[in-house]
Amino acid sequence: MNRRDFMKTTILATAATAIGTRAEARAAQANDRIQVGFIGCGARAHELISATLELPGAEVVGLCDAYTGRLERARARTGGKAVVYKDYKELLAVPSIDAVFIVTPDHWHKAMALDALAAKKDIYIEKPFSFTVEDGLAVVDAVKSSGRILQVGSQSVSSMEMAKARELVAAGKVGQISLVRAAYNRNSASGAWLYPIPPDASLKTVDWDRFLGPAPRRPFDLNRFFRWRCYWDYSGGIATDLFVHLVSWMHFVTGAKAPTSVVATGETYRFKKTHEVPDTVNALLTYPENFTANLTCTFNNELGAEPGLEILGTKGSLIIRGGAVTFKPELAREDNRWVVASWPEALERAYYDDPKIQAVETPETWDAKVIGGTESWQSEGRDDTYLHIANFFASVRSRRQPFEDALFGHRAAACAHMVNRSIREKRMVEWDAAAERMRA
């Protein structure tokens, strides 16, 4: 199967899944409800809980978090029906829970995913899929042997604009892709993860040891607990929080799997007192599909703040941003006038008397016609989070792995880990496609 056939097949499969999702949601009955537990009830988890409660045929029945305030609010969102568990393993031991959402700091993902698979639970795991490449491989292998469903939570791959962009690329609309530019800029303290800390947060309301888990031992620190993305112990910073989104979108739209090499730079220019991780990162990812991706992010300026992709091809460019897809055709023309004007006059006249040259270099002599212009498509309706969770529940019911499965998530997260390794070791990092890991 060639690349175009593969893309067409996966587009049809994606469309069929979406149709199936709607049909299954309508058909869901009280006795066919998916019972869900949430491991981690931070801000993102509350968005996922709200979306889950809107979906027919699903019920949030279990909650677990290391801060009591989040648990109280999450339980209130369920109308007081969900049971609160102190330890996530207690939640996993409940036979009636069908699936769990893992919405925790990155350093917990491997242990919780492996425990959930052992408990025969299906998993929705927030991005990034892994804390390290080795962690990712361990979970990929466990999913394969378990037969369980796992979907990664980079939700925009379920959006209508990504599906449209994927369709256009598969149809050859942009031609040969040579460059992808992707950015995710911010300019605020909250955008740099310096979130407000609840006034009641203390040793009485925060279970510090449960938060640390497999991470290095540290003294109690509310900044580390509530602003964990700023620290290497629990996060990969910009690369694992934001670049993973950009890479997931790019892989989904283009059909690419993983780069052959990555080179990156990262510095902390503004948030030196609060961040171990860089506040500005630039990366170049080289792909075997013959294109390069340039990923950029800074927390110091909002130019191009709306996250998105620009896919540049020989026939045109796709801009995917703000819920819209725009196609701009390439109207390139050959023009050698300034060069040929330096030739002897007779040779210049002969050059432009050639019909083959006239056909490509003298548009003013061509028959008048209208050529293609910019096209644009805008998505509307349910947001990406709702659609992504709906796709997850469709997979749980059908037992078909979703398109953002464990291997997809592993490769996207691995790109982030390669970026960070390149930054920290100040060198190019290569990918071993056969082994699905970084080269030494």
Specify the CATH number for the domain of residue 325: 3.30.360.10
In a domain, 102, yes or no: yes
Q: What is the β-pairing status of strands 177-183 and 99-102?
A: unpaired
Q: Is residue 50 included in any domain, yes or no?
A: yes
This prediction has a pTM of 0.90
276 and 145 in a common domain = no
- The structural domain count of the chain equals 2
β-strand pairing of 429-432 with 437-438? antiparallel
Q: Name the residue range of residue 167's domain.
A: 160-200+222-331+372-376+410-438
Q: What is the three-class DSSP state of 287?
A: strand
Identify whether residues 314 and 168 lie together within a single domain.
yes
- The answer to whether the beta carbons of residues 277 and 237 sit under 8 Å apart is yes
What distance in Å separates the CA atoms of residue 376 and residue 371, rounded to the nearest whole number? 16
* Same domain, residue pair 128 and 180: no
Domain co-membership, 165 together with 109 = no
In a domain, 228, yes or no: yes
293 and 424 fall within a common domain: yes
Query: Is residue 322 in a domain?
Result: yes
Per residue of the chain (440 residues), give pLDDT as tens.
Answer: 444 444 444 443 444 444 344 444 444 433 479 999 999 999 999 999 999 999 999 999 999 999 999 999 999 999 999 999 999 999 999 999 999 999 999 999 999 999 999 999 999 999 999 999 999 999 999 999 999 999 999 999 999 999 999 999 999 999 999 999 999 999 999 999 999 999 999 999 999 999 999 999 999 999 999 999 999 999 999 999 999 999 999 999 999 999 999 999 999 999 999 999 999 999 999 999 999 999 999 999 998 668 999 999 999 999 999 999 999 999 888 999 999 999 999 999 999 999 999 999 998 888 898 888 899 999 899 999 999 999 999 999 999 999 999 999 999 999 999 999 999 999 999 999 999 999 99
Residues 65 and 123 in one domain: yes
The answer on 142 and 54 residing in a single domain is yes
The separation between CA 22 and the C-alpha centre of its own chain, rounded to angstroms, equals 23
Element (H, E) at 212: helix 208-212
Q: Are residues 135 and 108 located together in one domain of the fold?
A: yes
Cα–Cα dist 83/327, whole Å: 49
Residue 344 domain-assigned? no
CA nearest neighbour of 41 among 126, 133, 163, 136: 126
In a domain, 336, yes or no: no
Whether 320 maps to a domain, the answer reads: yes
Same domain, 276 and 421: yes
| Residue carrying structure tokens 């990092």 | 429
68 and 97: one domain? yes
**DSSP alpha helices (H): ranges in 255-405?**
337-340, 345-353, 355-361, 384-398
| Residue 38 forms part of a structural domain | yes
- Shared domain check, 313 and 178: yes
What CATH code is carried by the domain that includes residue 48?
A: 3.40.50.720
